[in-house]
Structure formats: structure tokens, C-alpha cells
């Protein structure tokens, strides 16, 4: 048995390796989705496909990696050699979904595969019938993109150029794809070199023995935390509005039985798989459950395979959480991954009410394509801006504009100015949306607003000279624009941000999609061409919210005063607009339900996540 100091040092060395792999990826990737938004993850597994270390990137990615390693290892068996590089993206062979291409580099020690250095990165495009890989019209997986089952790209250090040509031919932007793929492989090679250096420093016997000690230590920490929770059987449910093909209110049901220092999550009562792309592949479901546990335990506990040993997961094939092929699954890493974790946390909130976090905002992936008039090259832009907020906890307010819960801040939105330089897009501003968070002793995180720039004629600049933008973006129903494919009804109407206060009393304000196309042949202007704020006010447009409102939360007394001022009365009342809509405010103030004064109240009209307090966050 190794001494604790050595184990601690090696634990941090493994962590440093995956962090360096991430930095190498960030600095060498071509696509905006990777080098700006950071939609990638790095990890190390041992020869038994056990997760040893992961960087703090995207939790939903890393939790599924052991199944991917098992798939590659079992398929190639003894044909794995030093210098090999493998690829995989098929969700029915161990991956989350098709856009997340995974590169594996085996690390040999004493003639055996001791480790796997892994990079999983979301590709800007992976083929299929729509750009950007998200196809709401898909009813089978072949319509979503190129399926790569375990594949050897490098054989003993030699590139298989025929295989590479086949892959790049089936994506829309092969130049960018090649650059991102080289960055992924380079990142994994960095991990390989650092692991070999670690073995040289400490010896193969010490390093390999340390893996068992690291995993066992993480298991002990997780079990010690779980042991303090209340025993019992608990149930949680989360609902997807629809699948886009007529199936509505798709339920994910979790029955959690906690006993001693472990628990079982039974998802077999979940609804049957659906026709649309919201099904969750089995590895994605396992990752979602493990992600929920990671949110609840001590954030100082290492997140590896040992951490998740106290959890047993039961699923039933043919359900939304374990579909049979060829069901489409591309949206699974957003939805229903977020709903699976939500159902589990909702159930366990009764066992550990001081640890579970409140509901996070929903977000659907948006991709826009066109031709850049400056470079004459086609582009695909993935929108990561204008995100909702994170849920609150007993420890404090939710994260502002943190985005979706399965990434918990790991995916960034990047700089608007950089986006304007790289793409033919211009925006008026990108800022917090005032009063959009659910209120409470600790409020939810606020959302954000990203309107496109207006020309001096007052029209939205949403088109450049040349080809019109095609987009899978969902517009607000009151705004013009056509979608590239049929869209789920859940996308076609305003959605609640669902970032609640820590007691789950009030959901956040309804989300809004502002980016749209307009007619006319017009070159996209720069940010300096947007009319000044005074000009917008003269035209009667709504001015930008004042900065002092960005980070404030309306108390009932402040909300009452605001509403009284706006209506000219001495007490808060329902606005005429909301009264006409039959949606009078259900609270004593115009904003205690998360709605800005003068706007329709959202109380009672949006689905909440859960009603128990919630807490420990993914380590910041």
C-alpha cells in the first residue's frame, strides 16, 4: 500500500495532465465551438476503462467516456498497438451523441495498455441532413450525421489516409474539421507524453498501484457523504414538453432507494422512447445520473469511477432513457440529460435538502450557416450567447447566465466582439436581463439578451450580401423568420428560464429568442453602425436596461412601488396586457413571480423543476 503523500501527489499529477490537455486543445482548435465556447473535455482512463481523472470541462461528456473506452478496447482487442489513434462517435457504441467525436490514444507501459488518453470534442458539423448536427426533423439516427463506430485512424503511427478522406468527405467544412481533429489528437498525444513521463518519474508499479488507491479513496469520500443522508425511497419526475413529432409531456421518472452509504436509481418507469431526437443513449443516461451525484457530494471529492461506485442504475430498454436503435438522440446531451439529472436530484432533495441545487435554465442548441462576404467561405456559427441562469441553493444565488445544467458553466459563450470579427454577424448588446431570475432568499441566476444590430432605417441586420442565412434557430412566435426544418412545439413558443429561487417557489421569466432574418439585400454592418441609444428612444423602441438593474433583485416592496408608479395607482395591479391575456399576477407584487413590471405574469404558467431546497455545486 502506498503512502498518502505519494497518492495525493499522483492524484494532482493526473489532474494536471488532463488540464494541460485541455489547454493544448483550446489553443490549437480551429472552430469557434471549441476555441471560444470550449465544448470539449479531456480525460484519462486506465487499462480497465476506469475513469482516473477528468478536467473540469463538460460533465455530461466525461461521465460517458468509460463506455466509449470499453467499446474501442473490446472491438480491437489485441490489435491495439503503440502509435494507434482511434475515433468513435456512435451513441449505440458507447458515445453520448454523434457531434461529440472522441479521440483515443493508448498509452503502453511494459508492453501493455496501462492508460487511455482521451479527448471528446463537439464538432461544428458531423454531416447529416442539417448543418450543425441538430436536426429536429430526424426520426432515425442516420439523418443526424455520420456514424463512426470504433475506428482506427492511425495504425502504429501511420495515418490511414483513406479512412480520413472518407470521414472528411462526409462533413460540410472539411478544412475546419481537419484542424479540430488534429487539435484533438495533439491534445491526446500531450496526455500520452505526460503519462509516460509520470511513469518514468515514479515507476510503473507505483503509478499503476496508485490508480486503485485513488479510485478507492474517492469511493470512501463519496460513501461517507452519502451515509449522512436520510434512508428511504424517494421519487422524482421531470417532463419534456414534446419530441417535435406530436408526443407531448414525455416523463422521466426516477425512483431512488437510499440505504446506508449507497443508493439505487430506477429509471425503468420512464416513458417509452419517442420519434424525435430527445431520446437519451444509454451512456448519456449513465453520465446524467453520475453527474447528479457529483452535484450533491463534497466538491472536493475527485470525480472518477470510484466516486460513482455507490450508485446502481436500473433502466428498461425501449424507454426514453434507454432507446433501441435507430432512435435519434442528438439533443440528448441537453435534453433529456438535464431532465434525468433533475429527476434524480428532485428525489434526493428529500434525503439531503441542504445539498441539492434548484432548477437550471433550459437551452436548445442553435446553429446558423451562411457565406461570409469578407472571406467568401461558408461558415457555421453555434450560438452559445443569451443563456439563462443557474438555480439557487441554500448557500447563495444562482450563477448568472450559466446556461444549461449539464455543463454547469463548463461551456462558455465567448466574446461577442470576437464573434463579430469571425462571422458576418453584428449585435446591439449582450447583457443581463433584469429581473429574470426566480426570487427568494437566494434567487436564481438571471438570463441575458442578445439582439442583432439595427440599421439606421430601424430594420434588423440579419442578412449579408450573398446567400441568406439558414438556421435551425427557433424564433419567438411573434417574430418573422422561417426555420430550416420542422421544430418541436416546445421550441416554437416562449420557454421559462426555470432558474428558480432556492426554495423552488418562483420560476424565472420566460425565455426569448431575438435573432432573426429580415428581407432585403444588405451587407452586415459593424457595431459602430448601430444607431445610438438616443435614436432608438426617439423611434419609440425600448431602451437598453440601465446597468444598475443588472444585478438587483426586486423585493416585494420595491416591486410594489415600481408597479404602482407604472400604473399610476397606489398598489400593485395586473397590467392591462396581462389582464387581457387572462394571466393576472398570482403574487402580491409584479415581480415576485420573476416577471418584469408591465409584462404578463409567469406564475402558474411555467413548469418548475422541484419544490425542495437544493445546494452543493460543481466545484467552481
| pLDDT tier at 17, thresholds 50, 70, 90 | very high
Report whether pLDDT(590) > 90. Answer: no
Please, what sign has the CA dihedral across residues 290, 292, 295, 297? negative
Least Cα distance to 452 among 539, 533, 526, 373 occurs for 526
Label residue 575 by pLDDT band (50, 70, 90): very low
Q: State the DSSP string of 57-126.
A: S-HHHHTTHHHHHHHHHHHHGGG--TT-EEEE--GGGT-S-TTEEEEEEEEEETTEEEEEEEEEEE-S--
- Give the CA distances from residue 586 to residues 435, 451, 501, 583, 604, in Å, rounded to whole numbers and listed in that order: 17, 30, 16, 8, 7
Mean pLDDT, all residues of the chain: 78
CA angle at 269 for the pair 268 and 273, rounded to the nearest 5°: 80
Look at residue 141 and give its three-state secondary structure. Answer: helix
- Tens of pLDDT, residues 484-500: 333 333 333 333 333 34
Q: Is the peptide bond before 326 cis (omega within 30 degrees of 0)?
A: yes
Amino acid 508: pLDDT: 58
pLDDT of residue 413: 82
Q: Which residue has the higher pLDDT, 403 or 163?
A: 163
* pLDDT tens sequence across 146-200: 999 999 999 999 999 999 999 999 999 999 999 999 999 999 999 999 999 999 9
pLDDT tens per residue, range 115-139: 999 999 999 999 999 998 899 999 9
CB 354 within 8 A of CB 4: no
The residue ranking higher by pLDDT, 411 or 235, is 235
**What's the rounded Cα separation, in Å, for the pair 117 and 155?**
16
User: What would the pLDDT profile of 348-386 be if each residue is shown by its tens digit?
Assistant: 999 999 998 888 888 777 888 999 998 999 999 988 888
Q: Residue 111 corresponds to which cell in the numbers above?
A: 508492453
Q: Starting at the edge strand that comes first in sequence, how are the strands of the sheet with 470-471 ordered? A: 377-383, 366-372, 470-471
Instruction: Quote the percentage of the chain above a pLDDT of 70.
Output: 73
Q: Which three cell numbers stand for residue 208?
A: 499503476
Choice between 457 and 206, residue whose per-residue pLDDT is larger: 206
Query: Which residue in the block uniquely carries the three cell numbers 434507454?
Result: 322
What pLDDT sits at residue 367? 87
Q: So what's the pLDDT on residue 438?
A: 82
C-alpha distance across the termini of the chain, in Å: 32
Strand partners, 154: 85, 159
**434 — pLDDT class (breaks 50, 70, 90):** confident
- pLDDT over 50 at 410, yes or no: yes
**Is there a contact between 315 and 322 (Cβ–Cβ < 8 Å)?**
yes
Better pLDDT: 578 or 459: 459
Give the tens place of pLDDT for each residue, 260-296.
Answer: 999 999 999 999 999 999 999 999 999 999 999 999 9
Query: For residue 169, with 0-12 CB atoms within 10 Å meaning exposed, 13-18 middle and 19 or more buried, which class applies?
Result: exposed
Angle between helices 204-227 and 174-202 (to 10 degrees): 100
**pLDDT tens string 193-228:** 999 999 999 999 999 999 999 999 999 999 999 999
pLDDT reported for residue 553: 28
pLDDT of residue 358: 87
Judged by DSSP in three states, 285 sits in: helix
Confidence band of 478 (pLDDT split at 50, 70, 90):
very low
- What is the spatial distance between Cα 183 and Cα 25, in angstroms, rounded to a whole number? 6
Lowest mean per-residue pLDDT among 212-216, 245-249, 316-320, 429-433? 429-433
Strand order in the sheet with 100-109: 51-54, 40-46, 112-122, 100-109, 85-88, 151-155, 158-159
Q: What pLDDT, on a 0 to 100 scale, did the predictor assign at position 506?
A: 55
| Residue, of 365 and 250, whose pLDDT is higher | 250
Residue 606: pLDDT over 60: no
Amino acid at each position: 500500500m502506498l503512502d498518502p503523500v505519494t497518492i495525493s501527489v499522483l492524484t494532482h499529477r493526473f489532474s494536471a495532465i488532463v488540464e494541460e490537455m485541455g489547454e493544448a486543445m483550446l489553443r490549437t482548435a480551429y472552430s469557434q465551438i471549441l476555441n471560444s465556447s470550449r465544448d470539449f473535455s479531456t480525460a484519462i482512463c486506465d487499462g480497465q476503462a476506469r475513469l482516473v481523472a477528468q478536467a473540469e470541462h463538460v460533465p455530461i461528456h466525461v461521465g460517458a467516456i468509460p463506455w466509449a473506452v470499453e467499446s474501442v478496447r473490446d472491438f480491437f482487442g489485441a490489435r491495439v498497438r503503440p502509435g494507434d489513434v482511434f475515433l468513435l462517435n456512435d451513441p449505440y457504441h458507447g458515445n453520448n451523441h454523434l457531434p461529440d467525436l472522441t479521440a483515443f490514444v493508448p498509452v503502453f507501459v511494459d508492453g501493455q495498455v496501462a492508460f487511455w488518453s482521451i479527448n471528446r470534442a463537439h464538432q461544428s458539423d458531423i454531416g447529416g441532413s442539417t448543418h450543425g448536427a441538430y436536426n429536429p426533423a430526424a426520426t432515425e439516427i442516420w439523418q443526424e450525421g455520420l456514424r463512426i463506430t470504433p475506428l482506427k485512424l492511425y495504425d502504429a503511427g501511420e495515418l490511414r489516409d483513406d479512412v480520413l478522406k472518407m470521414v472528411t468527405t462526409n462533413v460540410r467544412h472539411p478544412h475546419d474539421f481537419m484542424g479540430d481533429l488534429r487539435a484533438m489528437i495533439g491534445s491526446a498525444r500531450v496526455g500520452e507524453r505526460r503519462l509516460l513521463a509520470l511513469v518514468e518519474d515514479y515507476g510503473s508499479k507505483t503509478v499503476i498501484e496508485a490508480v486503485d488507491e485513488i479510485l478507492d479513496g474517492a469511493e470512501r469520500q463519496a460513501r461517507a457523504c452519502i451515509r449522512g443522508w436520510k434512508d428511504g425511497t424517494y421519487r422524482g419526475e421531470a417532463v419534456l414538453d414534446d419530441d417535435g413529432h406530436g408526443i407531448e409531456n414525455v416523463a422521466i421518472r426516477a425512483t431512488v432507494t437510499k440505504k446506508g452509504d449507497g443508493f439505487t436509481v430506477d429509471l425503468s418507469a420512464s416513458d417509452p422512447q419517442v420519434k424525435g431526437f430527445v431520446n437519451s443513449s444509454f451512456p448519456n443516461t449513465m453520465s446524467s445520473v453520475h453527474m447528479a451525484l457529483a452535484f450533491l457530494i463534497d466538491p472536493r471529492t475527485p470525480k472518477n469511477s470510484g466516486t460513482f461506485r455507490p450508485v446502481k442504475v436500473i433502466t428498461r430498454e425501449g424507454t426514453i432513457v434507454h432507446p433501441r436503435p435507430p432512435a435519434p438522440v442528438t439533443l440528448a446531451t441537453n435534453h433529456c440529460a438535464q431532465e434525468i439529472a433533475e429527476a434524480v436530484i428532485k428525489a434526493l432533495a428529500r434525503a439531503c435538502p441542504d445539498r441539492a441545487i434548484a432548477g437550471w435554465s433550459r437551452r436548445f442548441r442553435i446553429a446558423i450557416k451562411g457565406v461570409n462576404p469578407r472571406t467568401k467561405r461558408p461558415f457555421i456559427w453555434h450560438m452559445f450567447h443569451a443563456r439563462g441562469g443557474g438555480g439557487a441553493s441554500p448557500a447563495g444565488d444562482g450563477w448568472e447566465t450559466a446556461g444549461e445544467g449539464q455543463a454547469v458553466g463548463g461551456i462558455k459563450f465567448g466574446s461577442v466582439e470576437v464573434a463579430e470579427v469571425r462571422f458576418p454577424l453584428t449585435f446591439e448588446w449582450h447583457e443581463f436581463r433584469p429581473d429574470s431570475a426566480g426570487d427568494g432568499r437566494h434567487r436564481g441566476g438571471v438570463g441575458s439578451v442578445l439582439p442583432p444590430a439595427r440599421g439606421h432605417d430601424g430594420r434588423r441586420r440579419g442578412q449579408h450580401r450573398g446567400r441568406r442565412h439558414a438556421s435551425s434557430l427557433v424564433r419567438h412566435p411573434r417574430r418573422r423568420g422561417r426555420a430550416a426544418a420542422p421544430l418541436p412545439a416546445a421550441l416554437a413558443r416562449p420557454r421559462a428560464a426555470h432558474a428558480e429561487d432556492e426554495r423552488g417557489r418562483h420560476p424565472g421569466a420566460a425565455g426569448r429568442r431575438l435573432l432573426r432574418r429580415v428581407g432585403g439585400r444588405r451587407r452586415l454592418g459593424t457595431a459602430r453602425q448601430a444607431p445610438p441609444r438616443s435614436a432608438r428612444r426617439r423611434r419609440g423602441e425600448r431602451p437598453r436596461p440601465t446597468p444598475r438593474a443588472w444585478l438587483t433583485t426586486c423585493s416585494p416592496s420595491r416591486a410594489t412601488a415600481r408597479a404602482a408608479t407604472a400604473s399610476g395607482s397606489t398598489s400593485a395591479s395586473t397590467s392591462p396586457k396581462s389582464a387581457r391575456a387572462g394571466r393576472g399576477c398570482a403574487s402580491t407584487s409584479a415581480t415576485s413571480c420573476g416577471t418584469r413590471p408591465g409584462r404578463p405574469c409567469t406564475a402558474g404558467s411555467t413548469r418548475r423543476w422541484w419544490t425542495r431546497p437544493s445546494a452543493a455545486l460543481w466545484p467552481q
